[in-house]
Structure 1
Amino acid sequence: MVASGENAVCVIIAAMNASATIGAAVRSALREPEVTEVVVVDDGSSDGTAEAAMAAGDGSGRLKIIRLETNKGPSFARNQAIAASTAPLIGILDADDFFLEGRFRNLLQDNDWDFIADNIVFIEEGRAEPAVQEIQRFAAEPFFLDLAGFVDGNISRRGAERGEIGFLKPVMRRSFLAAHALSYREEMRLGEDYDLYARALSRGARYKVVHNCGYGATVRPNSLSGRHRTEDLKRLYEADRAILGVPNLPRDAATALASHESHVRAKYELRRFLDIKANAGLAAAAFHALGNPGAMPAIVSGIAADKFSASRATPKSPTHGGAGDFRYLLQPAQAVQR
């Protein structure tokens, strides 16, 4: 039985050249009775993404496919999907990921949030379907994120395993987005989720997180999300600057935003230097660096850190079967017996 009323969920999926994975994503969404709409936006694909998505429909009429003639990016695609849907709750699903069965039943038990997210399990490509039964179950242990904690949790630190809290895929209340005129910034192709959630938190959103695992993220070596342009980094740190302009930000939030902005800007300055070196040679890159003394610390430290990391790099061991293969975004205090 499909849900209705305040717990009805629209799942939006932005997809580009995802014909191999979009079917599993769509089926996992349609399997959830709380899902009343699934909107797939084919973002200028050159393969059979739209056809594969349509083939995964269950005949319930809940699936809608929107085709874009040219690639517009995930922000534009998601805004189109939100505009084409009506359910009061909005869930994001990437085209190569999937929901674990019962995800929304677990998430929607309480009503004390504007955004709510659960734990993510990262599974290597090719293991998703047979591995689902091996995923651990955790106690909910709910907590609320504030802006400072959210931003700080998105600052990656060299030498630490990547686990930015911005990877969380919250369910969002449409009413909160509408009340604050919030949508994805369509010029952003990197960190667009982080930016939307940070802006929501700056406007008082209650962002609840539970340790239950309901979202499966497929790890692929050629994932589009792992690629970005130098210009994308610039837009990301500019987004931080825009949020810093929000009146009456708490001091700890402003400090965290400034730190994140500096962190991303340093990455941009290094990438900009390397781009110039690749395109025009070392002399041109050195001239650029000397003409931008404020960028010099980021360039020098970035090059030194990359060389140090390369010198210490060791081949990764192959993974094997069992629960040890999985990585969880949140590290819970306790597991629940099956």
Structure 2
Amino acid sequence: MEHHPQASFILAAFKSRDTIERAIDSALAQTGVSVEVIVIDDCSPDDTAEIVNAYIDPRVRLIRLEKNRGPGGARNAGLVAARGDWIVILDSDDAISPGRTARMIARAKRADAQIVVDNLDVITLDGETKRMFEEAELSKLETLTLPAFIGSNVLFQSEHNYGYMKPIFERRFLEEHALRFDETLPIGEDYLLLASALAKGGRCAVEPSAGYTYYIRTGSISRVLKLHQVDAMLAADAEFLKTHRLDEASMAAQTRRHRSIEDARSFIILVDQIKARSLTGAVRTAWGNPAAIRHLRMPIAVRLRRLMAPLNAIRRFGMSPKTMSRTTPGNTPHKSKG
């Protein structure tokens, strides 16, 4: 292996036995660029590490963590070990096209950029391939700015946002600004690293063509939000604002993002209360944040209407949730189907 590869692939792996070879093989198949592939096994209980260790290609390196550090921690371990000029983040269940890395490095050099993002092909659960963004849309973006990036990452705004993009970073830029993944985040660590890099003045070029293949899989952590994940996102965003000084446009986008995360938090609480048949709790949540109701979909919406029929009376007569809990006979509604 070359002592100084042009690109270092960082693959954080946890229980990835079924997909890790596809990811590694796609990295090794890169054309027009020298690479190293660093796989960080995050204490997988399966034979992920053994599969990686079986590679005889000297460009593949395996790092086995002594304790589970999550996706951010595993990637940080890879960043410490990386020797390439460019850092390429590749999820262990995804893949990239052979010419992607060379194409993105060339794009970065033309734009004098330290970061590059590109389009993605999405493989659905039924095997259908969809392009995530219209190429014409991305072609209009010579660079991805911080306000545009934050503004795209407003929850419930669209099915996909720029946070799904898998950037490559100039390693020297990351090191100069001491940029690393937030290890406290169970989800959204990719978003925060790119936002921080942009806030530090990084220039992010946009490659409109798709070179990254994103596989949707059952149970993916990025598809279903949990309350503790949302709380971690709020805490990380608060720390981001303490660390970086944002311009007016970026701050306006951040305010919209914060509001959407708060709405998501209320929505998750509301759903949990509906499942627990807590009328009082559901009413309080809906009263405190009506936006949470708008995010409900079937069949939860049907259950909500059945559970919260008295809510219309609250709004009609101006009763408070506290008054409601006193005047409604019983706090536990009768069981109903659906």
TM-score tier, shorter chain, comes to: 0.7 to 0.9
The answer to whether the Cα contact below 8 Å between 1:29 and 1:35 also exists between their aligned partners in 2 is: no
1:308 Cα offset (Å): 6.7
Find the residue that maps to 1:74 and give its secondary structure. helix
1:21 corresponds to:
19
**For the structure 1 residues 18 and 243, does the alpha-carbon distance in structure 2 shift closer, same or farther, using more than 3 Å as the test?**
same
Q: Structure 2 matches for 1:40-55, cutoff 5 A?
A: 40-55=39-54
How far apart are residue 84 of structure 1 and its match?
A: 1.5
Q: Deviations over 1:96-150 (max 9, x none)?
A: 100111111211214111110111100135859xx89x99996883610111000
Amino acid at match of 1:306: L
Partner of 2:281: 285
Number of aligned residue pairs: 296
What's 2:330 paired with? none
Are the equivalent residues in 2 in contact too, given 1:74–1:189 (CA < 8 A)?
Answer: yes
2:72 to 66, 71, 75: 75
- Pair 286,109 (structure 1): closer, same or farther in 2 beyond 3 Å: closer
- Summarize deviations over 1:72-96 as a string: whole Å, max 9, x none: 2100000011111221210000111
Q: 2:156: which partner in 1?
A: 157
Structure 2 residue 3 is the aligned partner of structure 1 residue 8 = no
Question: Do residues 119 (structure 1) and 116 (structure 2) align?
Answer: no
Could you list the runs of 5+ residues in structure 2 that have no partner in the other structure? 303-338
Q: Which residue of 1 aligns with 2:326?
A: none
How far, CA to CA, are the matches of 2:267 and 2:99 in structure 1?
44
* Cα distance in 1 between the residues matched to 2:60 and 2:256: 42
The one-character-per-residue Cα deviations of 1:42-80 (angstroms, maximum 9, x if unpaired) are 11211111122234x3x3311111223443210000001
- In structure 1, what residue type is equivalent to 2:212? Y
Structure 1 unaligned segments of length 5 or more: list them.
313-338
Partner of 2:57: 60
Q: Indicate if the aligned counterparts of 1:184 and 1:196 stay in contact, CA closer than 8 A.
A: yes
Question: Is residue 237–residue 262 contact of structure 1 (8 Å, CA) maintained in 2?
Answer: no
C-alpha separation between the residues in 2 aligned to 1:69 and 1:225? 25
Change in Cα spacing, 1:175 to 1:265, as seen in structure 2 (3 Å) is same
Q: Deviations over 1:143-166 (max 9, x none)?
A: 1011100011112435x4x11111
**CA apart distance, 1:200:** 1.1
- Residues 277 and 284 of structure 1 are in contact (CA less than 8 Å); yes or no, is this contact kept in structure 2? no
Amino acid in structure 2 at the alignment position of 1:20: D
Answer whether contact 1:144 1:209 (CA < 8 A) is retained. yes
Q: How does 1:1-338 map to 2 (within 5 A)?
A: 8-33=6-31, 34-55=33-54, 57=55, 59-110=56-107, 111=109, 112-124=112-124, 127=127, 141=139, 143-157=142-156, 160=158, 162-246=159-243, 248-275=245-272, 282=278, 285=281, 289=284, 296-298=287-289, 300-307=290-297
> How far has the Cα of 1:228 moved from its partner?
4.1
> CA contact under 8 A between 1:145 and 1:208: conserved in structure 2?
yes
Deviates more, 1:166-175 or 1:45-54: 45-54
Contact kept, 8 Å, 1:10 with 1:90, in 2: the verdict is yes
CA distance in 1: counterparts of 2:66 and 2:271, whole angstroms: 33
Contact 1:199 1:243 in 2 (8 A): yes
RMSD between aligned residues: 3.2
CA deviations over 1:273-318 (Å, ceiling 9, x no partner): 5446656x6167359x47xxxx8443x3313430478669xxxxxx
Contact 2:227–2:268, Cα closer than 8 Å, also in 1: yes
With over 3 angstroms needed to count, the CA separation of the structure-2 counterparts of 1:135 and 1:178, relative to structure 1, is: closer
What TM-score do you get using the length of structure 1 for normalisation?
0.77
